């Protein structure tokens, strides 16, 4: 099984007592760990923690400022992960990864619809819910489970859940009013009254679940809200909030030059004025729905406090994927491999480790890490996963960590070509089934405006990322093939250089007959790139100096970005 990207640390397999063992081991390992763990409290034999996962729908990482309760009680008393991502930016596959700790190629849920996606494609026999329930947790799933959970399955309660309050597919993606839920397998209809507002209903259900759970039993609450998913309908109490919100216009908004993007992105037309206004209105409404969501967080925290559970509750707040606001002209919100689509908010508060102290963490973390984290802190056995436990990061224990991770997508009704991508600390590299490639140098180009995939200055970087991506994306999505599985171009032959006066050297070479698909050549002078020519097998160097000796070489490249080795050198001396 492919393990988490770039990690030299094997994913932990938790077992009963593992939580106490890992803490004690960390304490013995270093004096720094003793300071961070506050040894006297953690060397005791604490009960299994309560676990609350609050999952939002299509929430961007940069919207947390608008949620005052979350800022005060979670960000202000926990760990904010600045570099949190999803491995597949789409609702159902992301949620499948959260529940299993596995990439799409491991849990086989690539999309929202069958045959390789949706509720009916998900093997629910082993999830974080079944692990926790088997060890004595009282478990509850409230809200959106997986796309495709429909009226036909409304009596079905997936294994691992004691309390089940699941939205049906017809309404799950767009529900704020007029929706149907499976309440312990029985249909329940909600209408259009203010009291039917979904976020508030789910908050009430969460409050009841917490209060009804026997105090002697640990609880696992999975609260999956629909906000701020479009159409983002706010409740009446917040209908006018954020009316003066400034327009969002980063450099990538309605990107002017799309010529270096894949064809499916080049086909996106510039936004019309009415589309801009519509997206601006949606963005404001999404912020408004977050205020109701913030109220739900307050309801959960109040219930935990009043039942005496808060001090020993692990709270995870995250989204199932990000959301574009017309960056690169993309109006569909997610699916694409760009930053706004794959980056998510992630906050973890667990008072025994986070100590009510705000902290930020810059490690690359992925939604496949959630399940092993819950398992380790609960001290339960979990099957093999692709993710890593975040416990060392939460507790500030030194640990080798990943430097990259996989993003994968299988083409569906969205028309985005199947792709595999690797997001490292410095680059995003994407290979599509169309054999198109993208490479963004995130340090120099954080808005992903300048595709460097065909820039020979990045040839070594591309070669390294190609190798790494093939390691990560294994097995590949259905019908996907690597463009660089083909043989690279043959080395150009018979390079000849002739001085034509003191300041010009004319170069010619021959291409091998098997060089099908070669689109150009790179000319090097004294080891440095001099020029790139498209198709021609000759070049005039007009920058030579009189009475100077130069060494020239040439390589070939194809449309997929494969490069040959450099030719045999030719040495030329210009006349005085």
Catalytic (active-site) positions: 91
DSSP state of 400: -
- CB atoms near residue 491 (< 10 Å): 19
Query: In the structure encoding, which two tokens stand for residue 68, read together?
Result: 């005052």
Report the half-sphere exposure of 233 (CA within 13 A, side-chain side): 14
Q: What are phi and psi of 538, to 5 degrees?
A: -150, 160
Q: Which of 199, 189, 201, 141 is nearest to 165 (CA)?
A: 141
| φ, ψ dihedrals at 238, nearest 5° | -120, 20
Query: Helix, strand, or coil here: 192?
Result: coil
Helix axes 370-378, 91-100, angle to 10 degrees: 30
SS3 272: coil
Q: How far is CA 216 from the centre of its chain?
A: 37
- Sole residue written with tokens 């509720």: 119
**What are the DSSP calls for 456-519, one per residue?**
GGGHHHHHHHHHHHHHHS-SPPTT---GGGSPPPPPPEEEEEEE-STT-EEEEEE--TT-TTEE
> Which has the closest alpha carbon to 211: 293, 290, 138, 116?
138
DSSP state of 253: B
């Amino acid at each position: 099984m492919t393990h988490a990207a770039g990690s030299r640390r094997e994913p932990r397999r938790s077992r009963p007592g593992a939580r106490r063992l890992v803490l004690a081991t960390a304490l013995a390992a270093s004096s720094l760990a003793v300071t961070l763990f506050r040894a006297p409290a953690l060397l005791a034999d604490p009960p299994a923690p309560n676990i609350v996962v609050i999952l939002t729908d299509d929430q961007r990482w940069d919207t947390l400022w608008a949620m005052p309760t979350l800022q005060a009680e979670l960000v202000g008393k926990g760990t904010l992960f600045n570099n949190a991502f999803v491995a597949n930016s789409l609702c159902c596959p992301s949620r499948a990864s959260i529940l299993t700790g596995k990439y799409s190629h491991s849990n086989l849920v690539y999309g929202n619809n069958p045959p390789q996606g949706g509720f009916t494609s998900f093997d629910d026999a082993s999830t974080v819910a079944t692990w926790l329930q088997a060890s004595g947790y009282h478990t509850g799933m409230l809200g959106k489970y997986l796309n495709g959970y429909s009226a036909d399955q409304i009596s079905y309660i997936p294994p691992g859940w004691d309390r089940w309050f699941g939205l049906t597919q017809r309404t799950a993606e767009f529900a704020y009013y007029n929706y149907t839920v499976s309440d312990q397998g029985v249909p329940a209809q909600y209408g259009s009254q203010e009291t039917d507002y979904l976020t508030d209903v789910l908050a009430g259900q969460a409050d009841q679940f917490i209060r009804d759970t026997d105090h002697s039993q640990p609880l696992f609450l999975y609260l999956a809200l629909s906000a701020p998913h479009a159409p983002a309908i706010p409740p009446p109490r917040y209908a006018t909030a954020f009316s003066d919100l400034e327009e969002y216009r980063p450099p990538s908004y309605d990107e002017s030059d799309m010529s270096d993007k894949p064809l499916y992105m080049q086909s996106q037309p510039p936004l019309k004025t009415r589309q801009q206004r519509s997206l601006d209105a949606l963005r404001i409404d999404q912020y408004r729905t977050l205020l109701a969501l913030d109220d739900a967080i307050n309801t959960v925290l109040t219930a935990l406090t009043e039942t005496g559970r808060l001090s020993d509750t692990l709270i995870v707040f995250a989204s199932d994927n990000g959301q574009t606001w017309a960056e690169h002209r993309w109006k569909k919100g997610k699916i694409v491999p760009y930053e706004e689509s794959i980056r998510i908010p992630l906050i973890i508060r667990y008072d025994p480790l986070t100590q009510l102290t705000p902290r930020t963490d810059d490690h690359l973390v992925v939604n496949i890490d959630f399940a092993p984290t819950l398992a380790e802190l609960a001290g339960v056995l979990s099957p093999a996963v692709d993710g890593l436990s975040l416990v060392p990061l939460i507790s500030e224990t030194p640990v080798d960590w990943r430097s990259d991770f996989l993003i994968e997508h299988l083409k569906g009704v969205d028309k985005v070509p199947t792709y595999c991508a690797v997001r490292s600390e410095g680059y995003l590299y994407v290979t599509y089934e169309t054999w198109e490639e993208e490479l963004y140098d995130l340090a120099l180009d954080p808005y992903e405006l300048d595709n460097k995939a065909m820039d020979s200055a990045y040839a070594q970087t591309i070669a390294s990322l190609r190798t790494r991506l093939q390691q990560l994306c294994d097995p590949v999505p259905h019908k996907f093939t690597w463009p660089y599985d083909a043989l690279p171009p043959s080395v150009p032959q018979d390079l000849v250089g002739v001085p034509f006066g003191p300041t010009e050297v004319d170069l010619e070479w021959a291409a091998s007959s098997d060089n099908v698909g070669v689109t150009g050549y790179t000319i090097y002078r004294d080891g440095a790139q001099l020029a790139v020519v498209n198709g021609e097998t000759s070049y005039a160097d007009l920058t030579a100096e009189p009475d100077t000796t130069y060494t020239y070489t040439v390589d070939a490249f194809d449309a997929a970005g494969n490069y040959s080795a450099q030719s045999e050198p030719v040495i030329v001396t210009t006349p005085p």
